[in-house]
């Protein structure tokens, strides 16, 4: 992170990327001196409520983030930036999204955790849009023009006030990752009791194993010997607020509805106390590691991998077979994972996988048959991308094999072909 004093002294001349977080209440006009080079500007975690008209002078700007500020309107000047592709103003107080505020080249729009009730029809007139995150707002409907967004691949609309299933999204040709829990149209009275409830006083948390948008996972152990549970466990303590994917309670219920599968993180028990929601799970063996890395700015919605990382075609085939079985199991239980990615998958040296992170999961049993089929079709595209991403790191000596060509052909399918034993 850079400083305002560095900027004012001229020390940052020519930088392409600038991040300032210094409790700013007004936009530092000195930023305009970087107009010839600046491509990424991050002003998150300040106290800004507006941008000056001069902001449009940043003609090379491609990415602008201003999360955790005090904007109540998406600034119209953003629409005047000719190269701006990515806009993220998460956790502000935005109520209004003017049509003029949407850049013509918009590819990525993050407006999670605001107070938006309506969106302009112009949002459907941004043909390059690939990623749209609107969870945690007050939307009662979505523009019908969204049906025109043929390049839209990832959508988050959980935790809003949508009263009807947005059919204009379900038929989009490239949509692959969708989360819509926590809306009136997707409300479920089902409370899953597939695992017992236990008090939080029964265990002790130790080191943190990982954390995401919805909670923190820690290693834990029981305070007293348990006959029905393993001694070492992992506990996910959910955050109390809405996340980028929706409400923690919806994640918990979707996870429990899925039930047991050998390639899913196994749920053992739950804690459901006032102010304390947690899921107790099997502790994943330490020899498992992440299969992929999350998307980057350039890949937008597609996974990445460490430099030099490769898999044999035999490993890929085994991983794909297991994920096909997971896919079939999820949808047999009418649950859409919403985040089917390699970076949410763990694997070992024998290509055994464990799939997790149900933050974007949605139960969809309340939808009609046509809508349910469309939701399954959407997630199937994510499964095909999963295959394609793995093939991108296939060992060179295997890339001409029959197995490689078979999986490549499979990745180009459009209709769901998987079953519990498919591969």
Q: What is the pLDDT of residues 282-321, one digit of tens each?
A: 999 999 999 999 999 999 999 999 999 999 999 999 999 9
Q: Report the DSSP pairing between strands 131-133 and 108-110.
A: parallel
Residues of the chain with CATH 1.10.510.10: 289-411
User: Across residues 394-413, what is the average pLDDT?
Assistant: 95
List the binding residues for ATP.
Answer: 236
Q: Which residues of 304-317 are buried (b: 16+ CB within 10 A; e: fewer)?
A: bbeeeeebebebbb
What average pLDDT does the segment 391-415 reach? Answer: 93
Residues forming beta bridges with residue 354, ordered by sequence position: 346
Is residue 143 a contact partner of residue 132, using CB atoms and an 8 Å limit?
no
268, 317, 276: which is closest to 422 by C-alpha? 317
Residue range 289-411 forms a domain whose CATH class is mainly alpha
Instruction: Tell me what the mean pLDDT of segment 82-101 comes to.
Output: 98
Percentage of residues of the chain with pLDDT beyond 90: 83
CATH 3.90.870.10 for domain 200-282: no
> What is the mean pLDDT of the segment spanning 61-66?
98
What's the whole-number mean pLDDT along residues 43-59?
98
Output the CA torsion 150→154→160→164 (10° steps): 40
pLDDT at residue 418, as a whole number:
45
CATH 3.30.200.20 residue ranges in the chain?
A: 200-282
Residue 42 has pLDDT above 80, yes or no: yes
Binding residues: 236
Does 165 have pLDDT greater than 60?
A: yes
Residue 417: band (very low, low, confident or very high) from pLDDT cuts 50, 70, 90 = very low
- pLDDT tens across 207-246, in order? 999 887 788 999 999 998 888 898 889 999 998 777 667 7
The secondary structure of the chain, three-state, reads: CCCHHHHHHCCCCCCCEEECCCCCCCCCHHHHHHCCCCCEEECCCCCCCCCCHHHHHCCCCCEEECCCCCCCECCHHHHHCCCCCEEECCCCCCCECCHHHCCCCCCEEECCCCCCCCCCHHHHHCCCCCEEECCCCCCCCCCHHHHHCCCCCEEECCCCCCCCCCHHHHCCCCCCEEECCCCHHHCCCCCCCCCCECCHHHEEEEEEEEECCCEEEEEEEECCCCCCCCCEEEEEEECCCCCCCCCHHHHHHHHHHHCCCCCECCEEEEEEECCEEEEEEECCCCCCEECCECCCCCCCCCCECCCCCCECHHHHHHHHHHHHHHHHHHHHCCEECCCCCHHHEEECCCCCEEECCCCCCEECCCCCHHHHHHHHHHHHHHHHHHHHHHHCCECHHHCCCHHHHHHHHHHCCCCCCCCCCCC
The pLDDT assigned to 419 comes to 42
Render pLDDT for 10-25 as a digit per residue (tens, 0 to 9): 999 999 999 999 999 9
Q: CATH 3.80.10.10: which residues of the chain?
A: 4-152
Residue 73 has pLDDT above 80, yes or no: yes
Instruction: Work out the pLDDT band at 150, boundaries 50, 70, 90.
Output: very high
Instruction: Please list, residue by residue across 3-28, b when 16 or more beta carbons sit within 10 angstroms of its beta carbon and e when fewer do.
Output: eeeebeeeebeeeeebebeeebeebe
Query: What's the whole-number average pLDDT of the chain?
Result: 93
Determine the CATH number of domain 4-152: 3.80.10.10
């Amino acid at each position: 992170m850079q400083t305002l004093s560095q900027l004012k002294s001229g020390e940052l001349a020519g930088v392409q990327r600038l991040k300032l977080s210094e409790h700013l209440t007004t936009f530092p006009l000195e930023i305009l001196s970087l107009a010839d080079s600046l491509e990424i500007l991050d002003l998150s975690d300040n106290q800004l409520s507006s941008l000056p008209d001069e902001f449009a002078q940043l003609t090379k700007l491609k990415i602008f983030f201003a999360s955790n500020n005090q904007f109540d309107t998406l600034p119209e000047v953003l629409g005047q930036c000719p190269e701006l592709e990515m806009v993220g103003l998460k956790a502000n107080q935005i109520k209004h999204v003017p049509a003029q505020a949407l850049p013509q080249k918009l590819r990525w729009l993050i407006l999670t955790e605001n107070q938006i009730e309506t969106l302009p029809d112009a949002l459907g007139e941004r043909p390059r849009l690939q990623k749209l995150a609107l969870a945690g707002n007050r939307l009662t409907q979505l523009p019908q023009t969204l049906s025109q967004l043929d390049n839209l691949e990832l959508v988050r609309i959980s935790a809003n006030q949508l009263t009807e299933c947005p059919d204009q999204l379900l038929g989009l040709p490239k949509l692959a990752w969708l989360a819509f829990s926590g809306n009136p149209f997707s409300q479920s009275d089902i409370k899953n009791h597939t695992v017992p409830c236990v008090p939080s006083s029964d265990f002790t948390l130790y080191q943190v194993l990982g954390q995401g948008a919805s909670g923190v996972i820690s290693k834990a152990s029981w305070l007293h010997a348990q006959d029905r549970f393993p001694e070492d466990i992992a506990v996910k303590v959910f955050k109390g607020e809405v996340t980028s994917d929706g409400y923690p309670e919806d994640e918990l219920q979707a996870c429990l509805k899925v039930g047991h599968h050998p390639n899913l993180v196994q749920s053992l028990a739950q804690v459901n106390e006032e102010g304390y929601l947690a899921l107790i799970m099997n502790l994943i063996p330490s020899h498992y590691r992440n299969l992929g890395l999350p998307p980057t700015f350039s890949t937008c919605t597609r996974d990445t991998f460490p430099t030099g990382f490769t898999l044999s075609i035999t490993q890929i085939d085994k991983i794909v077979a297991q994920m096909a079985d997971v896919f079939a199991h999820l949808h047999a239980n009418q649950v859409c994972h919403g985040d089917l990615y390699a970076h949410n998958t763990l694997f070992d040296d024998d290509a055994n996988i464990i799939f997790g992170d149900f933050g974007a999961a949605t139960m969809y049993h309340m939808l009609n048959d046509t809508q349910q089929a469309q939701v399954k079709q959407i997630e199937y595209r994510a499964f095909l991308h999963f295959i394609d991403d793995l093939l991108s790191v296939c060992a060179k000596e295997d890339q001409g094999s029959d197995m490689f060509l078979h999986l490549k052909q499979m990745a180009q399918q459009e209709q769901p072909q998987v079953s519990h034993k498919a591969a």
